[in-house]
Structure 1
Amino acid sequence: MKNISLVFIFLISLNSEVNAQESIFPKGTKAPNVHHTGEIWLNLLFDADETFDFNIAQAVSAPGSKLNWHLHPKGQLLLITHGVGFYQEKGKEVQVVRAGDIIKCLPNTEHWHAASPDSPVTYVAISGNAPTKWTDTLTAETYNSFKVPEQAGQDTEQEIIELSKKKWQWMADKNTDSLANLFHDRSRYVHMSGSWKKDRELEIIKTGSIWYKNADVHDVAVEVFDDTAILWNRITLLAHVRGNDVTNEFTVTEIYKKEEGDWKLLDLTFSSVRDTHEIEH
């Protein structure tokens, strides 16, 4: 793609002005659904000629719109100017692309790209002067299996919150079978009266020597770090201890680790706090 550098530098210089815009140039014409699903508008900005051996086009994709698998015999540059999308080359991981990103698609490299489900994406494509070759259909199942990290993180946080709620209910029901599956074999439990491991915690729950009758959760915060999640919840705990029902305010820290697709509880620590305490989010 000779003489591309001037155009490339010019488009990069526009980036600070276009991040908040849907498109730099007019939106163009809606493309027929031949090689894509959803709504995509195209504006051909420049046709290759004898001097400049490349084409330039702008594409504006509505949320959820996706191109099928294809390749460019002479390669392509994608300058993302707005929104959030996906890009994947054959045999590689999916990339999340955002305004300001530049994607280098090498010649004859099979790939697909798309808007994310919840965001449009706009890009300027600089393509070598050779027809695009379309290969396979990108299925909805494949597309829907990917998530923007922020969305995936939110989903994981909610998953941990729901798992913690189930744990409190299992403790109230003395459901040691479910708890044994949840508790990591190397897990520890820190109470106001001591610290111990999995087997003793299960025995305490099973015998009712401490009966966690009800945990009223007031506030929750979660942080996810790859395969580890930490949850803090502020609770009012009604427990039956030594023949008496007692109520206390606690902040409980729970650490979970994902192993073979399942979250396992590594640590549960009770900290005594004032009832005015709030968890900082």
Structure 2
Amino acid sequence: MSYQEQPLPAPQGATQAPAANFTGLAWVKMLVGAGNPTDCTVGEVTFEAGARNNWHSHPSGQILVVTAGAGYYQEQGQPARLLHPGEAVSIAPGVVHWHGATASSRFTHLAINPGISQGVATWGAPVTEAEYQAAHA
């Protein structure tokens, strides 16, 4: 069994992300939950190699801060952007996008969601295999 085939342990304290909104295996660990005075949540999201979330948007926008691995961020109608640790993406309210791991690397980012009293996310269709493969081009 090669390194890539060996299953990696779940991040400590994380729960599996909902399969309805993700392709492949992903984990979420809430660092700052709802109901706090900032009206903001912060979650650590880890995608196994090849995993990604569905197309979606956030009514108050989102900030992603990459902490480990390599992954993609793509806004609808735009080319995908390859992300590495230390990079951040500021996503405007209502922008439809997806993010996830490359085919060969686990990927972890912090997802900062402001203004959650306005809602957290509006989920859309899964990213197709063709859309995902195009990100690798």
TM category, shorter: 0.7 to 0.9
Q: CA deviation at 1:136?
A: 2.3
Match runs of 1:125-164 below 5 Å = 125-128=111-114, 129=116, 130-147=119-136
Counting only pairs closer than 5 Å after superposition, residues 237-276 of structure 1 correspond to structure 2 as none
Q: Which has the higher relative contact order, 1 or 2, with Cα contacts under 8 A spaced 6 or more apart?
A: 2
Residue pair 1:79, 1:100 contacting (<8 A) in 2 also? yes
Does 2:34 correspond to 1:45?
no
Residues 213-261 of structure 1 deviation map (CA, whole Å, 9 limit, x = unaligned)? xxxxxxxxxxxxxxxxxxxxxxxxxxxxxxxxxxxxxxxxxxxxxxxxx
> Matches of 1:55 and 1:37 in 2, distance apart?
23
2-structure distance, mates of 1:99, 1:131 = 24
Q: Which runs of 4+ in 1 moved over 4 A?
A: none
Max Rg structure: 1
Listed as ranges, the gaps of 5+ residues in structure 2 are 1-7
Match of 2:44 in 1: 58
With normalisation by structure 1, the TM-score equals: 0.42
Per-residue deviation, 1:44: 1.0
The root-mean-square deviation of aligned C-alpha atoms, in Å, is 1.7
TM-score, normalised on structure 2?
A: 0.84
Counterpart pick for 2:60 among 68, 74, 79: 74
Residue in 1 that maps onto 2:5: none
The code of the aligned residue for 2:76 comes to: K
**How far apart, CA to CA, are the structure 2 residues paired with 1:127 and 1:99?**
19
Which amino acid in structure 2 is aligned with residue 71 of structure 1? S
SS in 2 for 1:34: helix
Q: Which amino acid aligns with 1:146?
A: A
How much identity, in percent, do the aligned residues show? 31
More strand, by proportion: 1
Asked if 2 retains the 8 angstrom alpha-carbon contact of 1:37 and 1:67, the reply is: yes
Question: Does residue 81 of structure 2 align to residue 95 of structure 1?
Answer: yes
For residues 76 and 135 of structure 2, what CA distance do their matches in structure 1 show?
15
Q: Aligned to 1:113, which of 99, 102, 120?
A: 99
Q: How many residues align?
A: 125
Partner of 2:4: none
Kindly state the Cα deviation for residue 98 of structure 1 after the two structures are TM-superposed.
0.6
What is the deviation of 1:91?
A: 1.7
**Which structure has greater helix proportion?**
1
- Is this contact kept in 1: 2:113–2:120, CA < 8 A? no
